[in-house]
Structure 1
Amino acid sequence: MKQHKPRILAILLSMVLSTVAWAQNCQPSGKYTDTNGETNTIAAGDTYSGSAPLTITFTANPATTTDAATNYEWHFFSQKNPRSAFLIRYDKDTEYTFTEAGTTRVILYEILNGDTTRYNPISLSISESSLQMPNAFSPNGDGINDIYRAKPGYKSIVEFKAIIFNRWGQKIYEWDDPAGGWDGKYKGKDVAQGTYFVNVTAKGADGKEFHIRRDVNLLRGYTQSTR
């Protein structure tokens, strides 16, 4: 029996090396599109901090062609309950939209022939919500402050509606995206310079509600950005 030991050891070593190679087969990542329209990638082990709503496409990225019997599981863990997944997706690639504030860990499990490999988590930190509206704008075509919209830096706004009224209470314009805004027109024509009013109702990913009502000064002759 002694003469067979080297051969047995070689077989066992080959099995171990094969298992290790398979265990490192994937390079899970998440991809998202930023506000500039550019696609960015988050690697396993990294943390990304952003604003809701945030849509991420998670990809297993196997380095080699996988066995047909290979199964994939994406487990989603919230900071409120870090030990129990609130969602499990059984796909090699999957997409999810984050709409709640807080940190979520997303972990890929690769399963083959009863063996399971757990990869490092991809962590997403969604900020608390914030929203402010300016009190003036100057739609004079100079490319500066021509559109009345939410102040830059708003975060994690998942519901939004803004309505512009004139001083007689007539609705002039409305929009439902914080990235949108009013160009100072009514039915395609410039409105008169003066004071208008905005009514905003919005909700953040953290459940915070916003109710903003304020004057809006439309200044056509103004050439600088106002607060």
Structure 2
Amino acid sequence: MLIMPACAQTDSEVPTINPTATYTTDDGEEESEDYSGNAPLPGVFRANPENVGEYTASYEWHFTLEGEESPYLTRYEEDTEYTFTQAGTHNIVLYATFVNGTDTIAYTEEYWAERGPLRVSISESQLEMPNAFSPNGDGINDIYKAKSNYQSIVEFHAYIFNRWGQKLYEWNDPAGGWDGKYKGKDVAQGVYFVLVKARGADGREFNIKRDVNLLRGYTESTGTITE
């Protein structure tokens, strides 16, 4: 006996699946069948089978970029994990087969044609660095770091130098940054230099070189600089 897609899900006597996707974001975990986010994006995919009973189950997860015919990744466990690092729309489906003697319950193309795949869209990469910051302890712009609109950055390394080419600081997370100190002490107000080498999920390379104005006496509320 072969039972295909949705009709099988309504029968409580046969195995069913209910595939779900949960993504780990900066705000925590989010379960979604159609999610948009930035790389790297970890995801957990669960088959959630029910009524398996005496049936022997086999699973086949397919991860495919939209517009492509063949999956770039196939996994064979009931639940699987994957971290998305490539920009574009990814379609995820689960082919599940349950066998008990001569009875076979299969969830394949027809099931997903009716339901639609799990989908995740990874944004194109973006990265900008500011030209100034004001580490004066007022809690506003105290840290020199990437502008908050960065997205889908999978590799990042930044260096701060003084005017003589001495390296003062480095960091490898776009969410991190420099507090205007060297060996625990405040550096003088003035012009410094940042070098950033980064790569986006879409393969874009970033090689940013620019001056950084450290305005220690700058007050955001008045827009003035004091010595």
What TM-score results when the alignment is normalised by the length of structure 2?
Answer: 0.83
Q: What is the identity percentage for the equivalent residue pairs of Structure 1 and Structure 2?
A: 57
- 1:49 and 2:49 correspond: no
CA RMSD of aligned residues (A): 2.2
* Pair 1:217–1:40, CA change in 2 (3 A): same
How far apart are the structure 1 equivalents of 2:21 and 2:60? 14
Q: Which has the larger radius of gyration?
A: 1
Q: 1:53-112: CA deviations, max 9, x gaps?
A: 11101111224455561112111111241x222211111111101111111100012211
* Partner in structure 2 of residue 213 of structure 1: 209
- 1:102 and 2:88 correspond: yes
Higher helix proportion (structure 1 or 2):
1
Contact 2:15 2:98 in 1 (8 A): no
User: Secondary structure in 2 aligned to 1:125?
Assistant: strand
User: Secondary structure in 1 aligned to 2:63?
Assistant: strand
The runs of 4+ residues in structure 1 deviating greater than 3 Å are: 16-20, 63-68
* Partner in structure 2 of residue 224 of structure 1: 220
Amino acid at match of 2:24: T
Higher strand proportion (structure 1 or 2):
2
How many correspondences in the alignment? 206
User: Secondary structure in 1 aligned to 2:32?
Assistant: strand
How far apart are the structure 1 equivalents of 2:105 and 2:55? 14
1:203, CA displacement in angstroms? 0.8
What TM-score results when the alignment is normalised by the length of structure 1?
Answer: 0.83
1:223, CA displacement in angstroms? 2.7
User: Secondary structure in 2 aligned to 1:70?
Assistant: strand
| Structure 2, unpaired ranges of 5+ | 1-5
1:77-226 correspondence runs (5 A): 77-81=64-68, 83-113=69-99, 114-118=104-108, 119=112, 120-224=116-220
| Structure 1, unpaired ranges of 5+ | 1-15
Contact 2:158 2:194 in 1 (8 A): yes
Question: Which sits farther off after the overlay, 112-121 or 89-98?
Answer: 112-121
1:52, CA displacement in angstroms? 0.8
User: Secondary structure in 2 aligned to 1:21?
Assistant: coil
